[in-house]
Structure 1
Amino acid sequence: MKISMKKLDAFPDAKLLRQNSGRLQVNNRFILTDPVWVHHEGGPIYSLDMHPSGKKLATCGQILEAGKGIIVIWNVEPVLNEVMAKDTKCVKCLAVIPQQRCINCVRWSTKGEWLACAGDERLLAIYEYGGRINSAGSIGSKAVVNFERYREKFRLYGHDLDVFHLEWSKDGRFLASCGMCARVIIWDAQRLPKKIMTLDASRGGHTQNVKGLSWDPIGKFLATQSSDKSIKIWATDSWQCVKTISEPFVESCNSTMFCRLDWSPDGAYLIAPCATNNAGPTAQLIRRKDWDMSLDLVGHRKAVTVVRACPRMIEYTDHKGKLLHVCCFAMGSRDKTLSVWLIPNVSRPLVVLQRLFKHSILDLNDFHLTISSMDGSIKSILLNAREVGRLLSSKEMGDMCERLYSRRPLQYCDSSLNCSSTVTNGSKFVDDLANLNREKMVTVSDKFEKVLSEEQKKSDAISQKNNEDGKQKQDVEQTKNISASSVPVVQAESRTKSNKRRIQPLFVASLSLQENEPPSKKAKEQSREMAVTTFSPKNQLRKKDSYDPFINQAKDEAVQVEVSTFKEAIPAMVDKPILRMAPLPDTVKVCDGQNQFIKLPIPPHKPQHTVVLETNLTHPVDKIDVFNDVEISLSIFATKLTGSVQNVIHWNCYINSSVCSLAANNYWTVVGCYDRCMFIYCSQSGLLYMNLMVDSIPSYLYVADSFLSVCSSYAFVYVWDLGKKKSILSRRSLNDLFEKDADIVLNLLGDSGSPIIGLSSGKTFLYSLRMDCWFTVAEYIHYSAPIGIMGEIRGSVMQTVLEERLNSAFSLHLPREFRHTINIYIRNLVQTVKKNPSSHFIASKRISGNAIKLKDIFTLLSREKVICGLKSDVLIRELLPTLQANPCCAAISEELKTREENDSVKTTLLLFGSARELAKFSEKEILVPATTNKCELMQFIFDEVKEISCLKDCCLLALNQEYVCNDETIQIQPHSEIAIIPPLSGG
């Protein structure tokens, strides 16, 4: 490790370093250790945090090669003691928790029972300690053996993008998280996964990425820092922004990944990184009393990324012999430099370490100073209290806060919340407060001597009484265990015909160590009554060849007493029954054969979903509401569905699952749940029609008439006809449609139940039930090509666009769009034929490509009676005038006219009453199909005479003075009379 032995120019009072017995000492004030074995396989360490017991260190970040996230729990003893680190029997890595995505922050809870982490998965994961693992690992495996078990307790959803930082409040009541979504979410730490409040722009919050936050140790404020160059102070009683500070950050640039700020232990100052003064990087001191910003800390050459304060004040003696109460905190910067400061009344840094890392410093820990860097390494600094000052006790801190603020914070009411790093445990880690208090070492004083004598008498009496009955049984059990463990392990070895050795492996883990069982009620009561027990010399005797890495060999303490002289079983973790299923991850990726990923965002958990319906006389319900997390009984929650008529509840029902998506129309109401279930209700009565389950979370729902379309988070599409209880499309994958990093922005249904999927890339696809494949019905076109090139190919590009629109209108069954587009398309083709001399019909019968297109289009129209819901002959008659306007297309128009005359007959149309007034004529000669029926004939007439189309539903039809009353096929002779008779027109 190379660290500069030179003073920093910006820090003239910085202390020099010297090498001492493998460790770096700084004027007897600090001891710096470099545990090179703490790493993430070459990946960066984005965050670290020390367990409140001081025995475990959690680091998180990313693995360089795999690109996945990782959380590692390390033993602190070899970090502090290089002699232990060299001992092969010393356990260094306690547990490895692999993650799918990069982890940006990790923090232990105030009491140490939970470990919270967050990163690129857009969620918070809460892990719980599950006990020690008694195993020697797998034979032949090179993987790291876990000595501790951690299991996921909660998953907290609410962020839409990556989470940068999280922090437990000092009193253990809240958990706050922030990230790229510009939101700060407050969680109830005592009732996880309950969410208390979301602090966003609607509440006066930040408008850009929130890079850091810190809880006020007094419990009144929460400070957040964002890339919008501001700090916001939130009041914890109302969750309102009481102060916005932006002046020190106006000139700063967003060059840091994190902005981790911190409060002083007495809450008097807020120290914020990423500030500037005269274009130079500083850390801003913000005074709590009046939010004064006149002081800042200078010296670093690049932006400060992280600030971390010691959890308690220090009693410091200055050079004049004056006794001061100061706060000790450290600052890390992008210039790879660490500085340690004492405030207030100390104007220079206590020590500065230059070029401590190869990359930026990202996080610090407060108990004994531990630093992590982007280069994937950590450093540890131990404070010498005799040289620097005395750390105040929790009682003294509580008295100070009570004197300053007339209130004593919860973390200072019980000293067990602040466990010193010098406190030792027994032979195992204990994460709950009761066991921690029983196992810590306390100094003997006059207060405990009476307790020791009384407990000595009690223990002697109990041991004499039970010794006779239990001694023989214990001896037998111990003899069995010793004999079992002392049996030599011999592997069975044999030889094959080819003279190869074949070895049968044997299990070598300890069979005498059994899983811990929960203690009985009597044992718990006795443990509560027992404050301390007698000092037993037998418990201090250890074999030379055995090593326990978790025993702190403290030599500075004069006399110490071990609280528990017996190895107590760790209570088994029993999950409380949870009524509601926790939501799944915020984003699911599906990987196809070409390593292309599909991102389907799961709808965030919302307290309420609402759909407004169009009403009529037969369907009065105008609104459907879904309320998540409704408390129906004590600590029992459910989801409530209601149907309302003019804000009056018409029906309601309850379900157990939490709802993530809702779709409804006048007939059906469909809710999708996080447990993959879907409930279909009648919108007017609330009757449960059916209950379905899909492969994953139903992210997108759409209801049209009786059709239901579902797009799941695993990228599968389903379509059902609810009225017929029939499947139209089942489990159709979207893998073929997606490009990398594309999202679904549209989920609709066509008239026949064909699903329509729109992507964020600008493409829209329609699934053809006949062809059993996807069609592209819309695509984003980039128009930024040079003008000259566009001029040469403008005609071809226009025809291509119009052809795509025609296909889309035909696939989506849009008659108006189809009629409008085909008129423009034919006009464009006719104009192109007119401009191109080679397009004329010549003696060789050769015609241009556009003329061939025209002929093919009209041939297709002539073959079909109805195309896209429109009469083909009506379309042809509309397009003929455009075709006849170009002499070059005379042959095509004559051919169409001849074909139409052969298929049609000339008749006389007679109009009566209001029809005559609207059309402004009484009779007219028209061509009608020779073979047709009543509906087709009336549609033909109304298309021919558009002025009377408003009378379509009420007119009578007469042929040769006889009413036509049925839809049978009729043959129309030439010169027939067809009459349109409106009601009340007489005759």
Structure 2
Amino acid sequence: MEAELANCYFRITFKKKTFICEKGKPIFSIDIHPDGSRFATGGQGDDTGKVVIWNTAPVRNEADEKDKNVPKIICQMDNHIACVNCVRWSNNGKYLASGGDDKLIMIWQIRYSGSTSTMFGSDTKNQEQWRPSITLRGHSGDILDLAWSGNDSWLASCSVDNSVVVWNADKFPEQLAVLRGHSGLVKGVTWDPVGKYLASQADDKSVRIWRTRDWQEEKSITKPFQECGGTTHVLRLNWSPDGAYIVSAHAMNNSGPTAQIIERDGWKATLDFVGHRKAITAVRFNPNIFASRIKGTEQHPQYTCCAIGSKDRSLSVWLTALKRPLVVTKDLFDSAILDITWSKNGMELMACSHDGTVAFIDFTLAEIGTPLTKNDVQVFLEKIYGKCLPMNKASNPANQIIESAAMLKLHQQQKIQQLQKTPEKMDPTKSLSDSFSNDSRLTNGGTPGTPFKPTEKQIETKTKDGRRRITPIFLAPQPDVNVGDVPLPFSAKSNLSGDIMFETTKEASKIVVEKQDIITGPGFISPQSKSSLSLSLSSPPQTGIQSGTPTVSTPKVCQPEKKSSTSESDTSYTSKVFISPSIQVNEENMPDKEKVKDKLKLGGIKRKHEGGHGKARAKKEKPAPLVQMPPPPVEKETIRLVAASSDLKLSIPTTQKTFNKVITGKPGADDVITLEVENDIKTGVNSLHKIKSVCNGTLLWEQVFTSKILAVTGTKFLTCTACEDSSIHIFSNTGRKVLPSLMLNSPVSRLTSCRQYLMAITQKGNLFVWNVQKSKAVIRNESLMTVMSGDDHIVRAFVTADGAPTVSISTHKSYTYSSDLGCWILLYDKQDVIHHSSDHHSCTPPVLVDKPGPLASLASSSNRLGMQGGFFFSVDQSLQQVTTINHLESQMAASLSLQSGSEYKFWLQTYVRYLAKEGLETKIKVCDDLLGPVYKSKGSSSWDSYILGMKKRELLHGILPNIGSNLQLQRLFTEYQEQLETIEK
């Protein structure tokens, strides 16, 4: 449908194209690409949200509309699982942002694949491939509006969760701020073109202005909206390109709907646009500033152009140089107007409606005026506001003035360190995708800048019947080329179908063929591939923090191993042996060679059935029960006093005829000391039990006992044995008995030592820790009933070098006992949601601790990373900040409890780095304790200059650069720096 309306002396063309229609489903948003060749719409699809990128040529030109070779739809995307409420192109045209009812924001980028595709369930071919490169999660409700800042550094989103989130577009998915001040659904957001403010409008009958300097509220305007009701789906306000005005959506004046004009000077709201019969839903300024010429003078007063859409189905276009609208259309749609967009040149206007249609309006220079050039706009804005956002990114700390020489020196050092860490100078024009592509090409044997190609070498063997067999070689997948570039203007005449041209050549192949005189059978792996397979599958799995990948193993029939006599862990006494064999391809075990291929496909080999069914088979597979000594009889008085402890009955080590344990040195070294135990040595009627200390075959000393030895432990300071009669015997490194025999209430379940500290846990769950060097009990008879029940068992137990006991139990929790606090302390909980929601990993120091400390040994990195994904994206941003701080403070407190200095330093640095990143100045005041008193006082000070053997002020010196990394905290940095210099003088 076309209609031409006369307004004054102008003829303005309106078009509504029937092919741009969602068949009765609403189109909630529309936006024209900066190059003008395409535009995007967002709305409801079939059971999903729908984003469509359209070709603008058929809309402008009727001939292109009738040409079947000119595609109308460029790309159609249905990645959103709910209705899409807003689509917005970035100002440089590189990204398309979309947000919807699924609480997600998707950032789309073009991908030049050289071929067309179709969306599932549709016959329409996609001429371009757009994919969501980033998905932003942070809102807890439907997202209604989006807005890019003038230089694309920020992306603002608003939602029905009453919040506005500001995203760092240079470091997606980083959030710069979450603005909470509205008490109703936030339905519109817009940026100040100068970059100093952000405005939002909500159902709480207010428009709020936020400062970008500190993300605090500058002004709340409520008077024009007091009579308004929440009757509109969106409230799309907009800021004028000269920065002088905000025009709001739904406002009321004398009970009539208006678009309120809010002046930047004092945020006065005295003017408005009137004439619409129903609530205003969308406002959009022409991106250009226009200049008019007054005859007889050299004056060129500037003005702007604004389009307003309403629920009354009408659209009005206003010039700020005129008192009346330039043009008003009525009944252009069958339902409310939901969004408006202008082309970058300012001559084209498009609007979408709830009725699922789009209108196109074409202007000329004679109708709305001549726009200022880009340089003229820059000069105009700088004349009024100074340096503006498009000239330099105000969000970057680089634009903040460095106020002290110490801060300047620190930043210069940080730049030098960054250059030293970078192996080669990075080209600023080189995109991330180019780097990725070059790395991938190098992996496949190519060189940077060369096209992707297969390897130039292949291995050739022969089968039994003489046929050639080319060994397949793995090639890394071809990287996406040109991903992340600004898309070229879409050409209706260009061949975008991705036709591939083939040609032949008479030149011989340059691929080197390596022939091997090896006869291979079908289904067997060639020598090179087989060696690679065995290398990857037969290698022992890595353990500890570096092991993050699950090991795929084939069940293998094996006998239970005898407990190692040279085990270095004290936990081996009660642990059962489970063997996880690696995959091995053994021809001897394969009677039918043809079955190897099939079994490898299935990923495992069936376990051999050893006979027996039901209970008989279960009995056969059941491991031998552990031999346990019956507990000593308990008197009635004891039962009455410690009834709770009697509920625990921990497992004790199995009595063995002989076993060995290495207590010092590494295997193969000259200083290895081994304890050799021999039980049941017959001496006539009675039996004795002996322990020997041996160093590389040389007997150092030996001792005998009348009770069987259950467990031994030792360090270079002490040796200890635990016997069946609940006794403990402690010797020096020369075999001298340094303490009388210690009698416990039951046999020992766990026995471990570190330096001069000895820890024992009895069968009844009582904990003892002694300082042997001082002949003193550190912890006396503390019950584990506080932290475990009768169904639990101990997984691991050890004592630190500072005498702190640590117990890990089967509930995936680890504890230590504090003598100072007189209670158990929780160190680690695998199921702790706060732990898994922490977002501190980007703030960890670049150099980790040299040796994992006791706290790090309690948690497995693989378990944490595996569980973090589910928790991370389900936590609100502000709540995640609180959980991260909570977790870091808990880690520091746990390090203090374990007396682990290196770990405390690590977590302190991480804590301060995170606080500096978030700009939490009040929390960083924790450094006051590290600084201590600046001046000496006459009286004694309670401040201790050391913590865990480290000087507090040296720790402060180490974390000051972390504070200085945020220029917003430079005054705090300078304050600490000057005070430290004063103390050192």
TM, length-normalised to structure 1: 0.43
Normalising by structure 2, report the TM-score.
0.43
Larger radius of gyration: 1
